[in-house]
Amino acid sequence: MILSRRSVLVGTAIAAATPLRFARGEDTIKIGGIAPITGPAAEAGKFMQNGAAMALEKINGAGGVLGKKLEWVVEDDATTNPGAVLGFSRLVSRGDCVAYTGSIRSTQVQAIAPDVLKAAKPVMFGGTNPGLTQTGNPWLFRTRPNDNYSARVIADYGVNTLKKTKWVIIHSTDAFGTGGKDALVANLSKLGITPVLVQGYSNQQTDFTPVVLAVKQANPDVVSSYFTFENDLGIFARQLRQLGVTVPWVGSPSIINTTALNLAGRALFGTYGIADFTPDASPEATAYATEYVKRYKANPDNQSTWLYDALLILANAINTAKSTDPQEIRKAILAVKGFKGTEGTYNFDEKGDGLRGYNVVKNVNGKIVFDKRIEFTD
C-alpha cells in the first residue's frame, strides 16, 4: 500500500467527518455526552458507548421520551482536561441538547464545572471526588456513590473485618486520588488509626519501583489504593508482587475494572475491591450484566453502568417533568427516590448525589466474588 499525502488526507477527512451517533433522524431529544474515545482511557470510552447503546434501546423500546426517541450525541474528551472542556463546549454550542453526561473522571468533571454552570442544563457524571457536588453548582448530578462512602467502606472493612492496623495508602495525585486519600485518612483517624505511609504518584507512570520500595520499608499489614488509570494499577500490582509484598490490598473500584483485571491478571488475585457496580449486588445489576455479556462478549464494569443509569434517570426525569426545560428536569432529578439502577437504588439529595453505598468484593483467582453491600443513610 502506498501511503500518499492525498490518501492520508482523504482518510483523515473521512474519519473527522464521521460523527458518532446512536440514533439518527431529526425528531429526537438529544443528550450530549463527552467520552474518552481516544487517549489512555479509550477502552473505557468503548464501554461507555456500549452502556449508552443499551440504555437508549431500553428507553426507546419503552416509548422514548415525550413521545420522541432519545439520542446520545458523543464528543471525544481525549482523556484529558482540555479535551473534556473542548468536547463539552462543542456539545453546548450545538444548541440542541436538553441535558448532558460528563465524565467518570473527577478531574475532568472539575475542568468542565465552570462551563456547566454557564450552560445551565443538567449534567450527569460519574467522578467520585466528594467535593464535586459541594461547590453549589446546581447542575451537577452524580450517578455513582462518592468517595466519602468508598473511604468509609475501605476503612471499615480493613479495620473491622480484616482486623488490620498498619495502613499504607497509595493514591493518584489528581482530583480523584487526592479526594479519595483525604477521605480515607479522615475515616481511618475516626477509627484511631494513622497510616504508616501515604504515598501519592502522578498518572501515567512507566515504573513503580520507588513506590513499591517505600511500601516495603513501611512494612504495613494492609495496602489501600485510589488508582485513576488501570495501566498504572497494573504496573504497580505486578511490581508489588515481584518485590515480595503479599499483605492484603483493598482498592478503590478501579481494582476490579475489566481493563485492570485483563492487564494485571494474577497480580491482583486475592485483592479486595470496593465496587459501586458488581453483577451480584442486585437483580438490576445481574440483568444488566447478563445482557451486556450476551451482546459484547465481555464483562461489564462501572465505566458503562454509571452512564447507563444516568441516561435512564434523565429519560425518567424528562418524562416526569413532561418538559425539556432545564429547571423542570433538574427538579425531577432531585425528586428521584427509590429508582433502582445497576449501581444501586437512587435517592437524590439536594446537592445532586444519588447513591450512598458500596459493595465489597474479592478477587478469587480472577473471578470477582460479591461479599456484601454496605449502605449509609447519612
Residues forming the site for another protein (CB under 8 A): 2-5, 8, 11-12, 15, 37-40, 42-43, 45-46, 173, 199-202, 204-207, 209-211, 213-214, 217, 230-231, 234-235, 242-244, 259, 262-263, 265
Q: Is 192 left (phi over 0), alpha (psi -120 to 50) or beta?
A: left
Nearer to another protein, 259 or 342 (CB): 259
Query: Which triple of cell numbers denotes residue 80?
Result: 484529558
Of 123 and 240, which has the nearer Cβ to another protein?
240
Which amino acid is located at 370 in the chain?
Answer: F
Residue 308 beta carbon to another protein: minimum distance, rounded to whole angstroms:
19
Strand partners, 55: none
Q: How far is the CB of 246 from another protein (least distance, A)?
A: 14
Q: What are phi and psi of 28, to 5 degrees?
A: -125, 160
**Minimum distance, C-beta of residue 56 to another protein, in the bound complex (Å):** 21
Calpha distance 189→199 (Å, rounded): 17
- Which cell goes with 139? 447542575
Identify which of residues 359 and 363 has a Cβ nearer to another protein in the complex. 363
Q: How far is the CB of 207 from another protein (least distance, A)?
A: 5
CB of 296 to another protein, least distance (A): 12
Of the two residues 148 and 172, which places its CB atom closer to another protein in the complex?
172
Q: Which is nearer to another protein, 146 or 271 (CB)?
A: 271
Cα 233 to Cα 227: distance, rounded to the nearest angstrom: 6
Smallest separation (angstroms) from another protein to the CB of 350: 35
Measured from the CB atom, the residue of 201 and 288 that comes closer to another protein is 201
At a CB cut-off of 8 Å and minimum separation 6, what does 301 contact? 47, 256, 257, 258, 259, 277
* Distance set, CA 87 to CA 36, 57, 172 (Å): 10, 24, 24
Closer CB to another protein, 3 or 163, in the complex: 3
For another protein, give the closer residue by CB, 204 or 327.
204
**Closest distance to another protein from the beta carbon of 190 (Å):** 26
Distance of closest approach, residue 302 Cβ to another protein, in angstroms: 17
